[in-house]
Structure 1
Amino acid sequence: MRKFAFGTSVLGLAAGFMFGMGSAVSAAEPTLSEADFEEAKLLYFQRCAGCHGAERKGATGKSLEPKATQKLGQKRLEKIITLGTEGGMNNFDDIFSKEQISKLATFIQMEPPKPSEMSLEDMKKSVKIYVKPEDYVKKPMHGRNWENFFVVILRDAGKMAIIDGDTKEVLSKVDTGYAVHVTKETSDGRFWYTIGRDGKQNKIDLWMDPPQVVAESQIAYDARDIAVSHYGEWKDKYVIAGGYWPPHFVISDAVTMEPLKVVSTRGVNVDGAFVNEARVAAIYNTPKSPSWVVAVKELGQVWQVDYSDLENLRIEQMDSHKFLHDGFFDPTQKYFQIAANASNRMEFFDTTTRKFVGSLETGKMPHPGPGANWTDEKCGPVGATGHIGEGMITVWGNDPEGHPDQAWKTCYKTETDGAGLFIRTHPNTQYVFMDQPKHPEPEIQQSIQIMDKKTRKIVKTIRVTDREKSIALHGEFNADGSELWVSVWARGGKADWMNGEIVVYDTKTLEEKARIKGLETPTGKFNVYNRVHHVT
Structure 2
Amino acid sequence: MGVRLLVAASAAVLALAVAARAAEPDAARLYTENCAACHGGDRLGAIGPALLPQNLGRLKRDEAVDVILHSRPASQMPAFSDTLSEADAQALADYIFAPPEALPDWGLAEIAASHIRHADLAALPEAPVFDADPLNLFSVVESGDHHVSVLDGDTFERLARFESRFALHGGIKYSPDGRFAYMASRDGWVSMYDLYSLQMVAEVRAGINTRNIAVSGDGKWVAVGNTLPGTVVILDAADLTPHRVIPVVGDRGETSRVSAVYAAPPRDSFIVALKDLPEVWEIPYVKPKKPHYPGLVHNYEPGMVEALGVKDQAFQARRIKLDDYLDDFFFSQDYQNLMGAARNGRNGQVVNLIVGRKIADIPLSGMPHLGSGITFDWHGRRVMASPNLKEAKITVLDMETWEVVTELETLGPGFFMRSHANSPHAFADVFFGPNRDAVHVIDKESLEIVETLRPRPGQTVAHAEFTDDGRYVLLSVMEDDGALLVYDAATLELVKELPMRRPVGKYNVANKIRYEEGTSH
> Aligned equivalents of 1:135 and 1:374: distance in 2?
43
Counterpart secondary structure, 2:207: coil
1:48-63 map, 5 Å: 48=58
How far apart, in 2, do the equivalents of 1:514 and 1:201 lie? Answer: 32
The equivalent of 1:329 in structure 2 is: 331
Structure 1 distance, partners of 2:37, 2:471, is 42
CA, structure 1 residues 164+354, in 2 after alignment: closer, same or farther (shift >3 Å)? Answer: farther
Matched, 1:516 2:513: no
Distance in structure 1 (CA, Å) of the matches to 2:461 and 2:321: 35
Using the alignment, how far apart are the partners of 1:162 and 1:464 within structure 2?
Answer: 23
Cα deviation, residue 162, structure 1: 0.8
Deviation, 1:529, is 0.9
Give the aligned partner of residue 68 of structure 1: none
Please tell me the residue identity of whatever aligns with 1:358: A
Q: Which protein is bigger by CA-based radius of gyration?
A: 2
Give the deviation of 1:13 after TM superposition: 5.6
Contact 1:321/1:340 (8 A) holds in 2 = no
Contact 1:156 1:179 in 2 (8 A): no
Letter in 2 for 1:507: A
Structure 2 vs 1, CA of residues 120 and 39 (structure 1 numbering), >3 Å: closer, same or farther?
A: closer
Q: Which residue of 1 aligns with 2:393?
A: 392
Q: Could you say which residue in structure 2 is the equivalent of 1:525?
A: 506
Aligned to 2:281: 303
SS in 2 for 1:16: coil
Aligned to 1:202: 191
The C-alpha deviation readout for 1:268-318, integer Å capped at 9, x for no partner, is 5xxxx8754x21121111121221101112213220001124976321112
Q: Does 1:411 align with 2:405?
A: yes
Matched, 1:224 2:224: no
Q: CA deviation at 1:4?
A: 4.2
Alignment of 1:245-394 (within 5 A): 245-267=228-250, 275-276=254-255, 278-309=256-287, 313-320=315-322, 323-341=325-343, 343-377=345-379, 380-394=381-395
- In structure 2, the gaps of 5 or more residues are 1-20, 64-85, 288-311
- Normalising by structure 1, we get a TM-score of 0.74
Rate the CA distance shift 1:500–1:110 in 2: closer, same or farther, 3 A. closer
- Counterpart CA distance in 2 for 1:334 and 1:344 is 24
- After superposition, give the CA deviation of every residue in 1:188-221 in whole Å (9 maximum; x if it has no partner): 111111111110001111111xx22111100111
Which residue matches 1:192? 181
Distance 1:451 1:363 in 2: 21
1:508 alignment partner AA: A
TM-score by length of 2: 0.76
Q: How does 1:118-267 map to 2 (within 5 A)?
A: 118-181=106-169, 182-208=171-197, 211-230=198-217, 235-267=218-250
Contact kept, 8 Å, 2:180 with 2:193, in 1: the verdict is yes
Deviation at 1:528, TM superposition (A): 0.7
In 1, Cα distance between the equivalents of 2:376 and 2:346?
22
RMSD (Å) for aligned C-alpha atoms: 3.4
Identity of aligned residues (%): 27
In structure 1, distance between residues paired with 2:249 and 2:94: 26
- For residues 355 and 38 of structure 2, the distance between their equivalents in structure 1, rounded to whole angstroms, comes to 42
Q: Which residue type is aligned with residue 336 of structure 2?
A: K
Matched residue, 1:90: none
- Residue type at the aligned position of 2:275: K
Distance 1:10 1:375, change over 3 A: farther
Alpha-carbon distance between aligned partners in 2 of 1:166 and 1:224, rounded to the nearest angstrom: 32
**Structure 2: how far apart are the matches of 1:14 and 1:255?**
32
Retained in 1: the 8 A contact 2:53–2:98?
no
Q: How many residue pairs get matched?
A: 442
Structure 1 residue 349, shift from structure 2 partner: 3.1
Q: Separation in 2 of the partners of 1:354 and 1:14?
A: 45
Moved more, 6-15 or 173-182: 6-15
Per-residue CA deviations over 1:251-272 (Å, capped at 9, x if unaligned) read 011112111111111435xxxx
Task: Indicate the residue corresponding to 1:45 in structure 2.
Answer: 55
